[in-house]
Amino acid sequence: MTLRRVAVLSVHTSPLAQPGTGDAGGMNVYVWQTARELARRGVEVEIFTRATSSADEPVVDAADGITVRHVVAGPFEGLDKRDLPTQLCAFAAGVLRAEALHPPGHYDLVHSHYWLSGQVGWLARDRWRVPLVHTAHTLAAVKNASLAAGDEPEPMLRQIGEQQVVDEADRLVANTDAEARQLISIHHADPARVDVATPGVDLDVYRPGSRQQARAELRSLGVDLADDETVVTFVGRIQPLKAPDVLLRAVAPLIRDGRRRMRLLVVGGPSGSGLARPTALIDLARELGVAESVTFLPPQPPRRLAQVYRASDVVGVPSYSESFGLVAVEAQASGVPVVAANVGGLGVAVDDGVTGTLVDGHDVDRWTAALDATLASPEAVTRMGEAAALHARRFSWASTADHLLDSYHRAVGDYAAAQRRLDDAARTARSAAVGATARTRRWARRRAGIRA
């Protein structure tokens, strides 16, 4: 069967939002980039997401073959991601109403991202009689097993919701083999229904380039980066889960010891539980006595972010949990080595000892030692950066889309076969019922002495 049109559900964050602040992150990039690749293959993609501003157009033709629909569900602002379960009914109604404007069979498949979307996808699947493919992106049980100090655990509501979606989805798509194993071990997913589609990187945007030229461009925009500085960079949402404080504490001794002129560049905005103390990282830099050597930038669009990576000597990814770690791959594609926590998909994203360093745990002294060793010599940094760029070429969004399409076709084929079995069973049951009714009537006639 040729896929014509896919409905993509991304309830809590729009692929049009700037990653790095609020709830926008790697999932936004994943949804947008895979939609682009599917559209290039002739599959129309309609993305449903919750409207978060009165300025959001109800329907946006985002690119050739890609439509983004902003569904009004609850107030535009002031809702935390944890409040959104209360708005799933309203969101589902908006999705179903949009489909109702089209002839039956408008969508061939539903692909939901994150458990909130899975709850709506489950309903749409039953209403539209098409298969549901689901990507979790993160799992509550995994996050709760490695919480940062003081961070809030994911609620039981989410854990139950995730289990329901795993049970109902026709196919599950994991980012890595490790995540696939977690779906099977934690949520008892049927291994035959789990596929792996490793995320990619936009290799046209994120590619190696001159560090000096990148720094010169950033200086022209008001970013204070000297050519003789050793720059360690953090990119991501500023919240305990992403552990920017660990990186700051680890870099501080290297700044103070004076062997290198160092700078920590932090690119991102407060998010999640980090919103409770939006200036916490700035305050920590002051407490550690390194505030003059720490530069904060807001989230950057892709081409500017690529320059940020190229301006760096090393990118740090100290997260407590990552289903994959797009930042690590983007940095490596830009020719920059990575020092990352050895958690989740980062073990796939980083080739330990070749393209960067994987650090077990979040002990600050261990992180300081890993950064110091990685930065041991300019030659070593250059060598790792060259290897990183080659390693990153393994990850493309075209490859991700190929694997997604394989999963989609399996889902459609299995769903159609299951529907045929159900229809056959229903016909058999109806035939048996008709036969039983006819026999009952004949028996009644004989009892009444009525000749047929």
Residue ranges of the annotated binding site for UDP-N-acetyl-alpha-D-glucosamine are 18-19, 26, 237, 242, 300, 322, 330
Q: In the structure encoding, which two tokens stand for residue 221, read together?
A: 């925009």
Which residues, at least 6 apart from 16, have a Cβ–Cβ distance to it below 8 Å? 32, 60, 62, 68
Annotated binding site for 1D-myo-inositol 3-phosphate: 12, 23-28, 81, 114, 138, 158
The backbone region for 268, taken as left when phi is positive above 0, alpha when psi lies in -120 to 50, beta otherwise, is left
Three-state SS for 126-179 is HHHCCCEEEECCCCHHHHHCCCCCCCCCCCHHHHHHHHHHHHHCCEEEECCHHH
The separation between CA 149 and the C-alpha centre of its own chain, rounded to angstroms, equals 23
Number of neighbouring beta carbons within 10 Å of residue 117: 32
Annotated binding site for Mg(2+): 309-310, 312
Annotated binding site: 12, 18-19, 23-28, 81, 114, 138, 158, 237, 242, 300, 309-310, 312, 322, 330
Contact yes or no for 237/268 (Cβ under 8 A): yes
Return d(Cα 356, Cα 383) in angstroms, integer: 10
Return d(Cα 154, Cα 144) in angstroms, integer: 6
Contact yes or no for 349/329 (Cβ under 8 A): yes
Beta bridge partners of 70: 49
Element (H, E) at 232: strand 230-235
